[in-house]
Structure 1
């Protein structure tokens, strides 16, 4: 077990600098390029397409912020789903920290954006609803809470430490599982190469935490999670966005959104599994 822990620490430490630089770049980008929320404000005006593109930004605050905007009546349900399905926060960074996976990450981002936009338009066409009454902060809000300054370097260090610790635990548990029960046993446990895995992955992804995407990303890198399950889980992953939906919307409406999110995520995962993922 000690050897597994040491190896897990080595694997984690190797990607920590890359993860930190990526987080620092994202924070710098959001602070400078998105100054006074110009980028987010501009993309939000493009509704569903803008929502799909916003998901490219690997930051769990995007689904959370726009879930709040939906509850406040600023965006459509279609745009909310486009953002939920296209975003994957830390997953892009965790996988992208491995140089040999850069090409895959680019393809994954493109697929997720296309899925988000497609789902957004389908939802808008199928579910007709009146825009909620505008009642809270908007995209360009400058109130003290929304415009709070932050030190991007310290923020990136803290975020990197949190992710790295969770990543270490994930790598250790996956490696321990492979050591104790073998790859076949771990595959059986996770439903690998069966139609059940996208279901398990979607349920894991739906857990309201930015860390669930870390589990899915590392599981894929370790070979324990298939492509269909990875996409299923990442489609269902909204960080803490689901909590905002549950908190801000009537329970029946929130439950409907969650069920639609899970159903479509699982369906997409199963299709990819059947096709060959």
Structure 2
């Protein structure tokens, strides 16, 4: 009975592997090839930086929140932009939902809600409650994105190796939970 349980858990987990790998390959591709462009879009958002922050935050990338935090600490983006990024940034849920096509509708709903919440929060912080927040905390506009090196700790693995590493890690996590 235990062997049958383990075999069922393994088979259920293996079925997700192609979708999970495809999702992580796409994420790694975007992260490796377009991270500087994403950084420039976020830094170039100006007074409405929370909009690209919320939209770009929906892309599941390992370092996007850290990038936004670095840009905020360097006074390149506003507190509203930082909050929008943090609220929109997705974790491992997105690749897991992508790996299960029957959950794509739920994924779209979750991402839509995250986007709306991030946009409203960013707007409120940067415009509605702006006067209530001290200037030293508001951030934005005084720094330069060229002074921030968000990629100094970036992995040197290729796209394929990084995608395989993430896929294996999440596969083991899924397998463990399927067994439980």
Q: Aligning the two structures, in what range does the TM-score lie when normalised by the shorter sequence?
A: 0.7 to 0.9
1:140-189 deviation per Cα after TM superposition (whole angstroms, max 9, x unaligned): 8569826764311101111111111122222333xxxxxxxxxxxxxxxx
Whether 1:44 aligns to 2:43 is: yes
Query: Pairwise mapping of residues 202-221 of structure 1 onto structure 2 (< 5 A)?
Result: none
Cα separation, partners in 2 of 1:59 and 1:144, compared to 1, 3 Å = closer
The alpha-carbon deviation at position 84 of structure 1 amounts to: 1.0
Q: Distance in 2 between matches of 1:67 and 1:96?
A: 27
> Contact 1:41–1:139 at 8 Å: present in 2 too?
no
Change over 3 Å in CA distance of 1:143–1:3 after alignment to 2? closer
1:128 to 133, 140, 144: 133
Name the CA shift for 1:95/1:3 in 2 (closer, same or farther; >3 Å): same
Instruction: Note the alpha carbon deviations across 1:58-102, whole angstroms, 9 max, x for none.
Output: 123111221232233222111111011111132111012111111
Question: CA separation of 1:145/1:5 partners in 2, compared to 1, >3 Å: closer, same or farther?
Answer: same
| Structure-2-length-normalised TM-score | 0.80
Rounded to whole Å, the distance in 2 between the matches of 1:90 and 1:144 is 21
Partner residue of 2:61? 59
With over 3 angstroms needed to count, the CA separation of the structure-2 counterparts of 1:59 and 1:53, relative to structure 1, is same
Count of residue correspondences: 170
- CA distance change for structure 1 residues 164 and 78 in 2, over 3 Å: closer, same or farther? same
Change (3 A) 1:122 1:2: farther
